[in-house]
Amino acid sequence: MVSKLYCSFPNFIVTNHSAAVRTATIALFWLIPKGFFPQQDTGQIVDASEAPPDISAAAIAARQIALFDCAVGDPAVANVNS
């Protein structure tokens, strides 16, 4: 016959583990520094373009030039890197 202590021991482990995870989550919420985003606008935007894997180098270059022309055409854009 299985004792009650044997049956209640896994519940004790799960309950303590849940409490430990909850406590760690709350502690990390308070300890991790706030401000993942800069307080001021840095004026930079990073973008990526994608193309199908079977595209030729000339075709991808033409698409990159079209994207470049689109970005440079905006008066608010000062510089574009590719």
Nearest to 31 by CA among 23, 39, 19, 41: 23
Give the C-alpha separation, 18 to 22, whole Å.
Answer: 6
- What residues have CB less than 8 Å from 71, skipping those under 6 apart? 77, 80
Phi, psi of 5 (to 5 degrees): -65, -40
Residue with tokens 């209640």: 8
What is this structure's pTM? 0.43
| Chain CA centroid to CA 9, Å | 39
Q: What is the pLDDT along the chain (82 residues), one digit of tens a residue?
A: 556 655 666 777 778 888 999 999 999 888 887 776 667 767 777 778 888 999 999 999 998 898 888 888 888 888 888 7
